[in-house]
Structure 1
Amino acid sequence: MSTEEENAIEAAAAARRERLRALREAQELLQTPDDDGNKTKEEEDENDVQMKFRNYLPHDKQLQEGKVTPPDPFLNIVPKKPNWDLRRDVQKKLDKLEKRTMKALTQLMGLLAAVGTLLWQAIKCTTWMLLCELRELQ
């Protein structure tokens, strides 16, 4: 029996060593820098270079083609509604009023439901009373 136990212990230890070795190899692979990835990023950065001529007007056609066009300032101008300043000033009050309105509506719906159930109970009671009276008459 002792040899079987020893064999089982040795097999478990060997399996554990194998798992640890595989884990170390995986960590080493993760820690090694990837040279190909760095080169592609550098190449992309070199290809994305666009020239900005702030103080220099290029006379060469190739340089003029590489020039970045400035954004059109008139594209961002959008006419505002005539009451935009009033709405901005009153927005906090409108939000508060909206909350109060929703609260009042839920209270009214609760009251209406309560009145509806009371009315239904009253109808049931009166019908029951009428049925009892009809039975007594028969």
Structure 2
Amino acid sequence: MTSVTSLEDEARKRKERLRALREKHTGRQDGSHSAMDCDSETKQKLPRPVFRSYKPQDEKLKEDSMQVDMKRPDVSDKVKDQLEAGKSKHMIEEVDLLNLAPRKPDWDLKRDIAPKLEKLDRHTQRAIAELIRERLKASQEDLACVVNASDLMARVDAEDAD
């Protein structure tokens, strides 16, 4: 039974703290609540519309509309300058045909894959070099002998061609 009463006490204390916070937030010091106070406070807190590009027909709303006198800047000088710049003929000395030619439909795929292909090419070259080394070790021949043999074969082929 004591646990139930303690829970009720805690609930009551919590309600009092919440009420005190609510009163502190609204600015009331006393605990009185009246319907007229709430209505007047909500009217003061409600935002009022500001009409910038709309002209209301109701007289009550006309006082909320903004009186904006927008003066348009004179752009005639800028337009004249642009027209004069357009009349002058610029000679194009060199035309880049790569920029004029249409691109192939898969140009973006090639561009995106190029770094991956470079990386793959390096791995391939390493693998080929490693296979060559393994073959040389397997045949138990000296590297210099192989080079000399290939040079000798090249000479023989050159002599036969003559």
Shorter chain as denominator, the TM-score bin is 0.3 to 0.5
Taking structure 2 as the reference length, what is the TM-score of the superposition?
0.34
Greater fraction of residues in helix? 1
> If the length of structure 1 is used for normalisation, what is the TM-score?
0.38
Larger relative contact order (Cα-Cα within 8 Å, sequence gap ≥ 6): 1
